[in-house]
Chain A
Amino acid sequence: MSDAPAPAIELVAISKSFGPVQANKDVSLSVAAGSIHGIVGENGAGKSTLMSILYGFYEADSGEIRVGGKPVSIRSSADAIAAGIGMVHQHFMLVEPLSVVENVVLGAEGGARLKAGISQARTELARLAQDYGLVIDPDAIVGELSVGLQQRVEILKALYRGAEILILDEPTAVLTPPEADQLFALLRALKAQGKTVILITHKLREIMDATDTVSVMRRGEMIAHVRTAETSPAALAEAMVGRRVLLRVEKAPRQRGRPVLEVAGLSVRDERGVERLSEASLTLHEGEIVGIAGVAGNGQSELLEVLAGLMQPSRGVIRLGGAILNAGDRTPSRLRRLGLMHIPEDRQRMGLVTAFPAAENTILGYHRDPSFGRGPLLSPSRIVAHALAGIEAYDVRPADPTLKTAKFSGGNQQKLVLAREIERAPKVLLVGQPTRGVDIGAIEFIHRRLIALRDAGVAILLVSVELDEVMALSDRILAMCGGRITGERQAETADEKDIGLLMAGVGEAA
């Protein structure tokens, strides 16, 4: 290290408001060249806004950006690329039908004739493969690559454009644990070559594993900059939330009861006839949580939807409380009446009508209930009273049932869904991604509720892409890969590596 190396990136007193909301308040950040720097914070803490300012999607109201010590003006992503900043978005910006090399040159074709650009890109890709161990077939069609490899293409795109500073936004959300390990190995290789990496994540374990320094944001402000070696997950969580949080819920041993939901040989095909769920069999008992571990898109969503009556199975039998469900029973409204409730994976697109006031969402699916009105008419006052009860019981903030649902934070929206479904005293509860996009404080609350429900004898099927969450809550864990259930483990004895292998479809026989 030289005497006073200029930081790779320096943000000085950045402020940004959206209307009355101040997303970034006087934020300063300095990232040393050749380091891996983590940024953590709850949803809405301002991490994404800050990175969007750095990458030119937004312009700061005030403040200065310095790259390598020199002030720069970044007004578009082209400016950011010119300044040597590359970004890997959480949702990939790739053209799936095109090949790897075509995606890499996209937007940097270098002239009207494609051929020269492509051949130049080939040489460059070969060099990058050698330097960083980023091996990938340049002619592979991107849509046919695994998610982990697609992410590599995104990183290659940034490096091809000469990025010295790489920003990764929640890069492991879509990866299996082995893929995530590979990614971190790659990031270390980049660092060894002098590149600077900024890693945005809410997984504290990754911060501890991969970063050199870490910054914590809360409510638009920078709360702390620390060296990773000198902090702990608990300290970071406390800084993020502003109070002590329990990272792992405590739960009593389960009191397993009779089987309530029995599924045998269940298969589902999508509209195109592709089998998304193959021969799934499982049994859910009273008073237990069965967790489904798997990378997103491996049949968990289909399993939830077919059990909730939203898709029809192509084969297989479902029994609820011992009775076989025929086609007439497998409708959402009938299943609700039979005591099978569903907290859907995507609350904004399925669980809620975000354009409605909160009160109207607390009756979604139960709007035919006679207690909400008289005859064909609904009673607004009764709906609001009902909503207020739920809002109070689940500590939804703000406690305003007339507020448009879209204006609530992710955690509070999820609490609205939870209140609606749990309050109906389910026998079986299907839960999809209960804490996706939910802040740490609310995660703790939601986990406690689910455990309390299990202790009260409810059978819960939990689907989550967060392996930590599945491990923490479940009594039994089923792993899924490619539409199949690839293995079952008891939670007490489960090993994360072992489950990671099952999620990847290897070691199926074990």
Chain B
Amino acid sequence: MSAAPIELPRWADIALVPLISVAASLLVAGLVVIGIGENPLLATTLLLKGALGSVEGLSFTLYYATNFIFTGLAVAVAFHAGLFNIGGEGQASVAGIVLTFACLGLAPLPGFLLVPLAILAAAAGGALYAFVPGWLQATRGSHVVITTIMFNFIAANLSVYLLVEVMRKPGSMQPESAEFARHAILTPMHILLAPLGLKLPDTPLNSAFLLALAALFAVWLLIYRSRLGYEIRTVGANPRAAAYAGISPAQITMIAMAISGALAGGLAVNEVMGVQHRLTLDFTAGYGFVGIAVALMGRGHPAGVGLAALLFGVLYQGGTELSFDQPKITRDMVVVIGGVIILFAGALEGLFRRFTAAGLALARKG
């Protein structure tokens, strides 16, 4: 469409439009719930209660949100450079493999060295695996959307091969690596907070959550406050102006993809090092793809990504609880809601912007 972009006040852009998108998606999901003969209000209450109603539920919500923060940031950073990185799944898979080699291979090292090194290894693995499509686009013109999708399949098959043939624990039938040593894992939150006198239930929430919060801040600093971020945004907004300014779009493409892949590696840190304590097959579980929705909803801004990640955390955790209480509503419902949100927040965003603009104009007149 050649229509001019619709200008909205900043607050409407950041808060109102995403809120309308979510409300519309929940409405559609509510219709589906009615369609299968359940009460949507009851379902919503159960969902929210399951996600936010208890310390345990909240801990699970934040654990899911950790994954979404990393994958959402990964997509957001690439967005700013005008790149659509769909390869979060593959990058996290490779990060998990490298991470596992580090955790198992560097086991003789003490924890305070091993843990940071392993996290860096995961970031490096993800970065390298995203750098290759970036390099291909910069030098050969192969579009990252295509190559990152293909790289997802390569990574998935590589994982199967390695877990079956190379990394499998001797004597085990499971396609899993050996378990990490006790000093090679991230501290669970209930242990981390115990010295402060806080008694938390035993949940998958671990210190990777704090790393995710740090990543939110670091990405904000990078994109909006650093010279490199300025270059990334310039390339994303106007590659010709970037070339004029002496910024190499090819170079920025590779750098932005590498940073994006490193952030996707955070998913492996949370899942493999923080929760499973071993490499398992398919630990990425679609979090990489949901990251696209998170980044779209958050409009690429770390604050927005944080809020959108929390929302998806609520949906995941609440959806799980809901499917326990109401067996007719399976966890697939959450996938449906997620899909509708992607549709509304991403593809149909212009629609809501138009409505919002018209509504605001009306409010100003009236």
Contacts and interface: CB of A to CB of B under 8 A. Distances in A.
A380 B243 CA distance: 23
Given A19-B361, A333-B246, A367 B241 contact: no
A365 B226 contact: no
A208 B91 CA distance: 67
Contact of B246 (A336, A351, A373): A336
B225 A364 contact: no
Given A310-B243, A333-B246, A378 B227 contact: yes
Contacts of A349: 238, 240-241
B221 A350 contact: no
Contact of B240 (A19, A350, A360, A363): A350
Given A331-B246, A365-B245, A367-B230, A377 B237 contact: no
A332 B243 contact: yes
A273 interface: no
A337 to B, nearest CB: 9
B244 A344 contact: yes
B234 interface: yes
B226 A378 contact: yes
B28 to A, nearest CB: 31
Nearest to B225: A377
8 contacts: A332-B246, A336-B246, A355-B237, A355-B238, A364-B241, A365-B245, A365-B246, A378-B226
B225 A356 contact: no
B233 interface: yes
B178 interface: no
A352 interface: yes
Interface residues of A, number: 29
A368 B241 contact: no
B231 A350 contact: no
A352 B227 contact: no
Contacts of A476: none
A354 interface: yes
Contacts of A332: 243-246
Interface of B is mostly: helix
Given A331-B246, A332-B244, A332-B245, A353 B238 contact: yes
B138 interface: no
Given A376-B227, A378-B230, A367 B245 contact: yes
A342 interface: yes
Contacts of B361: 19
A310 B237 contact: no
A377 B222 CA distance: 8
Interface residues of B, number: 18
B228 interface: yes
A439 to B, nearest CB: 21
A261 B324 CA distance: 78
Given A332-B246, A334-B246, A349-B238, 18 more contacts: A310-B244, A331-B246, A342-B244, A350-B238, A353-B233, A353-B237, A355-B237, A356-B233, A356-B234, A360-B230, A363-B230, A365-B244, A365-B245, A367-B227, A367-B231, A377-B226, A377-B227, A378-B226
Contacts of A352: 238, 241
Contact of A378 (B225, B234, B241, B243): B225
A363 B245 CA distance: 9
Contacts of A333: 245-246
B311 to A, nearest CB: 27
B237 A351 contact: no
Interface string B196-226: 0000000000000000000000000100011
Kindly list the 10 A-B residue pairs having the minimum CB-CB distance in the complex, ordered from nearest: A333-B246, A365-B245, A332-B246, A355-B237, A353-B238, A350-B244, A353-B237, A364-B245, A350-B240, A353-B241
Contacts of B226: 376-378
Contacts of A376: 226-228
Interface string A355-371: 11000100111011000
Interface string A198-230: 000000000000000000000000000000000
A380 B225 CA distance: 8
A304 to B, nearest CB: 11
B231 to A, nearest CB: 7
A351 B221 contact: no
A131 to B, nearest CB: 37
A363 B247 CA distance: 13
Interface string A280-319: 0000000000000000000000000000101000000000
A402 to B, nearest CB: 11
Interface in B13-50: none
B261 to A, nearest CB: 20
Contact of A354 (B221, B225, B238): B238
Interface in B229-278: 230-231, 233-234, 237-238, 240-241, 243-246
A373 B228 CA distance: 12
Contacts of A344: 244
A342 B240 CA distance: 14
Contact of A353 (B221, B227, B228, B234): B234
Contacts of A355: 237-238
A326 B238 CA distance: 28
A310 B245 CA distance: 10
A360 B237 CA distance: 13
A310 B244 CA distance: 7
Interface in A320-340: 331-334, 336
A368 B233 contact: no
A365 B240 CA distance: 12
Nearest to A342: B244
Given A19-B361, A331-B246, A336-B246, A350 B241 contact: yes
Given A331-B246, A367-B231, A368-B227, A377 B238 contact: no
Nearest to A19: B361
A351 B241 CA distance: 6
B349 to A, nearest CB: 16
Contacts of B240: 349-350
A48 to B, nearest CB: 14
A351 to B, nearest CB: 7
A160 B228 CA distance: 56
Interface string A58-76: 0000000000000000000
B87 to A, nearest CB: 26
Interface in A392-416: none
Nearest to A305: B244
Contacts of B241: 349-353, 364
Contact of B244 (A19, A351, A360, A380): A351
Contact of B234 (A19, A310, A351, A364): A364
Contacts of A331: 246
A408 to B, nearest CB: 14
Contacts of A342: 244
Interface string B89-114: 00000000000000000000000000
Contacts of A365: 244-246
A308 B244 CA distance: 8
Interface string A81-112: 00000000000000000000000000000000
A368 B230 CA distance: 10
